Chains A and B, each alone.
Chain A
Amino acid sequence: MAKASSSHRLDFEAPIIELEKKIEELRTFAESTEVDLSGQIEKLVTKCDEKKRAIFNSLTPWQKIQLARHPQRPLTSDIVTAIVADFIELHGDKSFRDDPAILCGLGRIDEQRVLLVGHRKGKDTAEKVSCHFGSPHPEGYKKAMLKMKLADKFGVPIVTFINTPGAYPGIGAEERGQAFVIARNLMDMATLKVPIVCVVIGEGGSGGALGIGIGNRILMLEHSYYSVISPEGCAAILWKSAEYKEQAANILKLTAEDLSSFGIIDEIIPEPLGGAHRDPPLVFERLKEAILRNIRELSGLSGDELVKDRYDKFCKMGEFEKRLKETVDS
């Protein structure tokens, strides 16, 4: 399991933050002394923007992962607060317990009724711990499925926010059938007769992400990632050391652009320059627009057509060679 960075400032953000600090200082100085420094400030602002563009237009996969895990990155709960009106959280799997690592509830985005399901990483330490940093147990996936079936019954479109380092790997999780429950979600989500829009908003950690990820549309925020294994886990297997996580991030092809090139995702939602945490309101606005647009586009399809659409979508995924029979035999 990957841990979020403890520092709020990523290494490659440092030059930008330095410049911003300088600009702020100049502004304060100018205000207090009534000296006109607007020329200098403007120059610095331009320089800062250029720097940002230079850094953020050539991010490495590892840097994107750091952004995806940034402690100030908007979380499921932030997005729900910002874009969902009339929200009412619904707890529990009606079987074992309520897993806080998955947030479910009904609400409206503008006039559109929706069921929201999303990984919850937690805001403060206590919540983070109770959510296992966004790693659900089987009862979390069961809760999600139960609420999705409720939405299905009443024709309410489903929106999921994916943001997990992975499903929780522990004794209790295995005792309660982590693999079996995730598998059941993949199969049952395929049968739902309402539009499903999934958005990867941060970490798309393997089966734990896919467990709420069988959508008609899959969108990704620009600096989020979606992978079969965490870079740390991959490095531990291939190089026997998590130190090689940057190399692993490079070879796993896990960025939004990579996924788009494989035909797995439908849309990349651009983030503000500097990453989602630099301007959350803009991110909320873009998410809202993209979600509503995608639901609208799907609303013309019947229940059976939506099921067929999901079947066709996932059956197309994968890359292999088809050899002619003669070549095979020889």
Chain B
Amino acid sequence: MTPEENEKKSGGHRKRKEMPDLWMQCTSCNKLVYKPKFEEMQNVCPECNYHFEISSTERIDSLLDECTFEEHFTELYPLDPLDFVAVRSYEDRLKGAQEFTKLSDACVVGTGKMDGLPVVFGVSDSRFLRGSMGSVVGEKIRRGIDLARELSQPFIFVSGSGGGARMDEGVLSLMQMAKTSVALAELDRCGGLFISVLTNPTMGGCMASFAALGDVIFAEPGALIGFAGPTVIKETIKSEIPDGFQSSEFQLEHGFVDRIINRGELRSSLVQVMRLLGCDQAA
């Protein structure tokens, strides 16, 4: 897959039409927006507040204190345990995604500081096979959770996965839902804090496991959050889906997320909650 194809597929920045010089058109509201302002707002449209996807590196820069993030578990690389070959082979798709993102797989986990507070932090990267969870993603999250437990530090994970459990690793991906959830049960038993941040989109197997299990759940505005994809639901119920269905706002209204938070305020809100829960008083 060429980077262009990959970008198109992952939905990375597809909604942002580039224009020469300092202006660009937001593909959500179609208005012309001032590019430096858009960038200052971390890929958020200043006109309509649409939150465009950002990479794992951008997310780390946005949330963690400068130069404090140290990535862990970098030795883990995906395999192709099913010899999964369809229209294109999994091996091929993996290689393409690795070359394009320079990542080994679809998430990054490590340690760092947030306004001086030590945390174990993870983020999925939706440019890598739609942020889907296979064995490596599940294992990195599991190890991150266990590390947070051992260090008595909060675990913060920013999810973004349209793919859910990765089909190419079959039932092994499904079992990562179980793996991350049993690890969170253990963290919970030990009194550890997990804050889950949902970004556009968080669906399927990721949403039906770790992403839903935060002691506190934040969501960025306008994210698609749910279990079954809108297409599957439409086919099942044989009728149209209401506007705003499965959005962050929908989930807030139905009582499944604690708060919707703009990208620019995410870091301060995370810090506020951690301090109010006494994370700054830990040994």
State A191–B207 Cα separation when bound (angstroms). 20
Distance of B71 from chain A, by nearest CB (Å): 10
Q: Which residue of B lies closest to A244 (CB)?
A: B86
Cβ B81 vs Cβ A206 within 8 A? no
- Assess whether A39 is interfacial by the CB under 8 Å rule: no
Cβ A320 vs Cβ B173 within 8 A? no
A319 interface neighbour in B81, B167, B179, B209, Cβ under 8 Å: B81
Given known contacts A179-B212, A182-B208, A229-B167, is B228 in contact with A174 (CB within 8 Å)?
A: yes
Cβ A322 vs Cβ B76 within 8 A? yes
Residues of A near B208 (CB, < 8 A) are: 178-180, 182-183, 186, 207
Cβ A320 vs Cβ B77 within 8 A? yes
Can you spell out 24 A-B residue pairs with CB atoms less than 8 angstroms apart? A167-B228, A174-B228, A177-B255, A179-B211, A180-B208, A182-B208, A187-B185, A207-B177, A210-B174, A213-B178, A214-B181, A227-B171, A228-B165, A228-B167, A228-B169, A228-B171, A237-B167, A238-B86, A239-B86, A258-B170, A264-B171, A314-B182, A319-B172, A320-B135
Cβ A167 vs Cβ B185 within 8 A? no
- Assess whether B136 is interfacial by the CB under 8 Å rule: yes
Given known contacts A184-B213, A238-B86, A311-B183, is B135 in contact with A319 (CB within 8 Å)?
A: yes
Residues of B near A167 (CB, < 8 A) are: 227-228
- Interface size, chain A (Cβ < 8 Å): 60
As a 0/1 sequence over residues 69 to 88 of chain B, the CB contacts with chain A under 8 angstroms (1 = contact) are 00000111111011111110
A191 interface neighbour in B171, B189, B203, B228, Cβ under 8 Å: B189
- Assess whether B102 is interfacial by the CB under 8 Å rule: no
State A186–B254 Cα separation when bound (angstroms). 21
Given known contacts A228-B170, A252-B170, A262-B172, is B233 in contact with A320 (CB within 8 Å)?
A: no
B residues lining the A interface (CB < 8 Å): 74-79, 81-87, 134-136, 138-139, 142, 165-167, 169-179, 181-186, 188-189, 203-205, 207-213, 225-229, 232-233, 236-237, 241-242, 245-246, 254-256
Cβ B254 vs Cβ A182 within 8 A? no
Given known contacts A183-B210, A229-B167, is B182 in contact with A310 (CB within 8 Å)?
A: yes
Cβ B171 vs Cβ A174 within 8 A? no
- Assess whether A54 is interfacial by the CB under 8 Å rule: no
Given contacts A179-B207, A186-B208, A206-B205, 6 further A-B contacts (CB under 8 A): A169-B229, A170-B233, A179-B225, A213-B178, A310-B182, A320-B78
Distance of B119 from chain A, by nearest CB (Å): 21
State A322–B105 Cα separation when bound (angstroms). 13
Residues of A near B86 (CB, < 8 A) are: 238-239, 247-248, 251
State A239–B87 Cα separation when bound (angstroms). 7
- Assess whether A328 is interfacial by the CB under 8 Å rule: yes
- Assess whether A291 is interfacial by the CB under 8 Å rule: no
Residues of B near A14 (CB, < 8 A) are: none
Residues of A near B173 (CB, < 8 A) are: 228
- Assess whether A23 is interfacial by the CB under 8 Å rule: no
Q: Which residue of B lies closest to A265 (CB)?
A: B171
Cβ A207 vs Cβ B236 within 8 A? no
Cβ B179 vs Cβ A314 within 8 A? yes
Residues of B near A213 (CB, < 8 A) are: 178
Cβ B135 vs Cβ A318 within 8 A? yes
Cβ A171 vs Cβ B256 within 8 A? no
Residues of A near B82 (CB, < 8 A) are: 251-253
| 8 A Cβ contacts from A211-270 to B | 213-214, 226-229, 233-234, 237-239, 247-248, 251-254, 258-259, 262, 264
B182 interface neighbour in A173, A186, A251, Cβ under 8 Å: A186
Cβ B167 vs Cβ A234 within 8 A? yes
State A1–B227 Cα separation when bound (angstroms). 14
Residues of A near B134 (CB, < 8 A) are: 318
Residues of B near A321 (CB, < 8 A) are: 76-79
Cβ A171 vs Cβ B182 within 8 A? no
